[in-house]
Amino acid sequence: MKTLPIIEQHFHGAYGVDFNKAGADEIIELSYKLREIGIAGFFPTLVTDSVENTKKQIDVIKQASKKSSGILGIHLEGIFLNPEKRGIHNAEHFLPLTEDNYKKIEDEFIKIVTLAPESDKGLIMYLKSNGVKVQAGHCTGWASGELKPDGVTHMFNAMSGISHKMPSTALSALLDDEVYTEVIADGVHVIDDALKLIFKTKPVNKILLISDALPITYSDIKETIFADSAIYYDGKEAKSAAGTLAGSTKLLPEIIKILGRKNLFNPKFIENTYVYHGIEPKGELVWDEDFNIINKQYN
């Protein structure tokens, strides 16, 4: 089977590298490791942090991008979220969804912003007018009409679920054929029946596979501080002391194997990220019947 090289549009780090803390050289080295396993491009994703550190890490990532073409832009998953659905994020750093607050950290290298549309105070329109992808996440709903998001962040996780009595983020995401939908298909964040519901309901060209991987992914780290919380990894799940599930501990090549074994993988899932961001395809991956990458070609 042939596919395009993988693009990760939502992950926080791997091999011990944390995008909220790492230096440029560490991120560049990580890009080389990712390329070796079939990930040709990625959007470093920043978890909620102080304005000061967010600005600092944006500059670090931009510096790294000058030496690594695989760094495609920043995914800002933080600051503009709903405290009710904060997940592992530190709500002390949250700010109202205004243009002025966004300008405190604004940079042209931010390509995706995850936010809570129900709390919008003019930010969505500003982001859209500047070509930034708006994704509903860590939220309870979204605005209607022209202000609906471009995508939904990690479907079913940290959002209002399906109800037969009231609108919800998940219900809107499933019903709107124009909205792209991120999915963490690592076998931990979404059960198989919910995955099948997504794949059955959403147009196949609107599904975005993501890992939402944590910095501890593919490392020997069992305990760490992430988003100002202590995170513990038991070999299967990474959680806070309170039991809140953090991100994944797998990257997309491994997640694709998991889907392949369940007969749920579609190569379109990889192609969709290219279309979503208007990225020109370069190269290909060749997979064997067990979903191992046996050949990589990058143009």
Q: Are 105 and 123 in contact (CB under 8 A)?
A: no
> What is the C-alpha to C-alpha distance for residues 96 and 122, in angstroms, rounded to an integer?
10
Q: Are 30 and 64 in contact (CB under 8 A)?
A: no
pTM for this entry: 0.96
pLDDT above 80 for 143: no
Which structural domains are found in the chain, ordered by start?
2-297 (3.20.20.140)
Sole residue written with tokens 């990712």: 34
Tokens representing 78 are 């933080």
List, in sequence order, every residue forming a beta bridge with 108; answer none if it has no partner: none
pLDDT at 164: 85
Residues whose CB is less than 8 angstroms from the CB of residue 59 and which lie 6 or more positions away in sequence, other chains included: none
Residues whose CB is less than 8 angstroms from the CB of residue 145 and which lie 6 or more positions away in sequence, other chains included: none
pLDDT above 80 for 109: yes
Task: Sort 55 into a burial class: Cβ within 10 Å, 0-12 / 13-18 / 19+.
Answer: middle
Q: Are 54 and 104 in contact (CB under 8 A)?
A: no
User: Tell me: the pLDDT tens digits for 164-184?
Assistant: 888 889 999 999 999 999 999
Tokens representing 84 are 């009710």
pLDDT at 18: 98
pLDDT at 282: 87
Q: Are 265 and 259 in contact (CB under 8 A)?
A: yes
Arithmetic mean of pLDDT over the chain = 95
pLDDT above 70 for 144: no
With b meaning 16 or more CB within 10 Å and e meaning fewer, what string describes 185-217?
bbbbbbeeebbebbbeebeeebbbbbbbbbbbb
How are the residues of the chain apportioned to helix, strand and coil, as percentages rounded to the nearest 5? 30, 25, 45
User: Tell me: the pLDDT tens digits for 197-219?
Assistant: 999 999 999 999 999 999 999 99
Contacts of 286-289 with CB under 8 Å at 24 or more apart are 286/1, 286/2, 287/1, 287/2, 287/3, 287/256, 287/260
